[in-house]
Structure 1
Amino acid sequence: MAETLYLPAPAKLNRLLNIIKRREDGYHELQTLFQLVDLCDTIGLTPRQDGRIVLENGIDDVPHDDNLVVRAARLLQQTTNSDYGVSLSIDKRLPMGGGLGGGSSNAATVLIGLNHLWQLNLGMDQLASLGLQLGADVPVFVNGHSAWAEGVGEKLTAVTLDTPWFVIIHPEVSVSTPGVFQDPQLTRNTPPITMARALQGGAPTWRNDCEAVVKKRYPPIAAALDWLSQHACSQLTGTGACVFAAFATQQAAERIARDASLRFPTWVAKGLNRSPLHDALGG
């Protein structure tokens, strides 16, 4: 029986998110800082000889063939004309629709894991290009490093950020990302800045242009931001729903997380610059 390879799929936080303009194709030009954290899903990959792509434990309300891990495996299989298949499993810790990039990270882990298992020898640039077909956030997880991003989030430059401990709160609502980006009150004219200026600014000057609209549309998120802001500078990640704050020590983060967990699902995570996925495969 083939041995299963278990690989991490880490979360990300948007420590800055500027929306520059709406593009003619309906998407938005943005600038963001992606930071990886050590809160992860785990993806199991068991190679198959029959060419089938099978997700063994699907997610409620997501059809098997629509799941990003299945789509990622099929895209790689079709692109490389591979005869191999895979059985996939997901040990899910990251909340769906939380702004932590869980689905995109899962897809990236499948691309990298199958590139290894099927011995395809594709480069990271090739895998990132495939990942972009699945979602704008997939390439940052493929590249495996905290990054400054422009365009729709696909133009990446690796950066080294500070690595505090984060308290991450999920207000238990599901955010419609299209709804946020279509909201007429969304800020769409933030002047672009250089990467150097963004890195020089740092927390707490980093902000998220989606936050005002999300707080108005989703009162539980506003409540979580307000609660966390009593203890540190709180921010929204992506379009939410998760909010976060940075702390200098694990002890300080765990102390606030204990109080937060009385009201919200809460995690403590360490900021990273290199993905544990790449560490796991020695890449």
Structure 2
Amino acid sequence: MARTLNNCPAPAKINLFLHVIGRRADGYHLLQTAFQLLDRGDTLHFSVRGDGTIRRTTEVAGVAEAEDLVVRAARLLQSATGTSLGADIGIDKILPMGGGLGGGSSDAATTLIALNHLWETGLDRRALMGLGVKLGADVPFFIFGTNAFAEGIGEELTALSTPKLWYIVIEPGIAAPTAAIFSDPELTRDTKAVRITDFPEATNQFGKNDLQVVATKLYPPIDEALQWLRQYGDARMTGSGACVFCAFSQENEADEALQAARKTGRSSWKAWKAQAIEHHPLSHLLGR
């Protein structure tokens, strides 16, 4: 049995649209969204321990080890399967927290997939998704392993074919706390539900992000980044923010926009390019 797995990708996601269509009695919001995987993300490294200890071997600024979704995911899998094994986990963190890119959720999903393989605990994709939702509503999507139309609180997933596009993403230098966005009294929760067949495969210019109006009001730097990026197309915020993105059909056009973003003189901005990908890079560990 392999005792280590290094350089395990935890890809970012963007929400091509995000509609809030209602609210459950328990306070959770009912959503519809399209998740798109990108070829940029964090990288994790795993080494099996025989003593049952779960240990994070790298520091993550602002996140205590016990609260890290990576550590919580490992302990959840350990508890659910009864394995006596543990792991050392290293993280090369590049995705921002509070960015709407699913960084923490993706890290947790990669942890569940990798350790299920290393520990030989034998859970299938559906069982891992069931564990993942206990950690966060976005975690099951990354385990699902392909771009998806999502409903419910984000955990009801249907595979979705999306165009092969390039994206420019701007991190505007702030974090947008999800709770603050969803609890704002100006958030509308009555967008009409759509069907997956309504989503056009040829374009991502569908619907809107219902959270964007609230986020740009609370956090003006998000609005500033959106306004700048709109010169290139239908710029949008992903998730509850704070990152914004714009799609390009040609890589050279994306490169031009990226160069322009880096020349704006806004030191708080971090801009980067990523390509849409179809499958999670670790999907092969769970089978298709």
> 272-281 or 84-93: which moved more?
272-281
- 2:253 aligns to what? 252
How far apart are the structure 1 equivalents of 2:4 and 2:124? 24
Q: Is residue 15–residue 239 contact of structure 2 (8 Å, CA) maintained in 1?
A: yes
Q: Is residue 46–residue 88 contact of structure 1 (8 Å, CA) maintained in 2?
A: yes
Please report the TM-score for the alignment, with normalisation by the length of structure 1: 0.96
Q: Is residue 11–residue 94 contact of structure 1 (8 Å, CA) maintained in 2?
A: yes
**For structure 1, which runs of at least 5 residues remain unmatched after alignment?**
none
Q: Which amino acid aligns with 2:274?
A: A
Summarize deviations over 1:15-72 as a string: whole Å, max 9, x none: 0101001221111001000000101110100111111000011312211111000000
- 2:104 aligns to what? 103
Q: For residue 223 of structure 1, give the secondary structure of its aligned residue in structure 2.
A: helix
Indicate the RMSD between aligned Cα atoms, in angstroms: 1.6
- 1:39 aligns to what? 40
How far apart are the structure 1 equivalents of 2:16 and 2:154? 13
- 2:210 aligns to what? 209
Q: Is residue 161–residue 201 contact of structure 2 (8 Å, CA) maintained in 1?
A: no
Q: For residue 116 of structure 2, give the secondary structure of its aligned residue in structure 1.
A: helix
Residues 109-258 of structure 1 mapped to structure 2, 5 A cutoff: 109-199=110-200, 202-258=203-259
1:276 to 260, 273, 281: 281
Summarize deviations over 1:228-276 as a string: whole Å, max 9, x none: 0011110000011000000011111111011112332011000112112
Q: Which amino acid aligns with 1:8?
A: P
**CA shift at 1:214, angstroms?**
0.7
Q: Is residue 170–residue 242 contact of structure 1 (8 Å, CA) maintained in 2?
A: yes
**CA shift at 1:200, angstroms?**
6.1
**For structure 2, which runs of at least 5 residues remain unmatched after alignment?**
none
Q: Which amino acid aligns with 2:107?
A: N
Q: Which amino acid aligns with 1:91?
A: D
Q: How many residues align?
A: 283
Q: Is residue 98–residue 241 contact of structure 1 (8 Å, CA) maintained in 2?
A: yes
**CA shift at 1:202, angstroms?**
4.0
Q: For residue 9 of structure 1, give the secondary structure of its aligned residue in structure 2.
A: strand
Please report the TM-score for the alignment, with normalisation by the length of structure 2: 0.94
Summarize deviations over 1:159-185 as a string: whole Å, max 9, x none: 111120000000011101111111111
Q: Which amino acid aligns with 2:278?
A: N
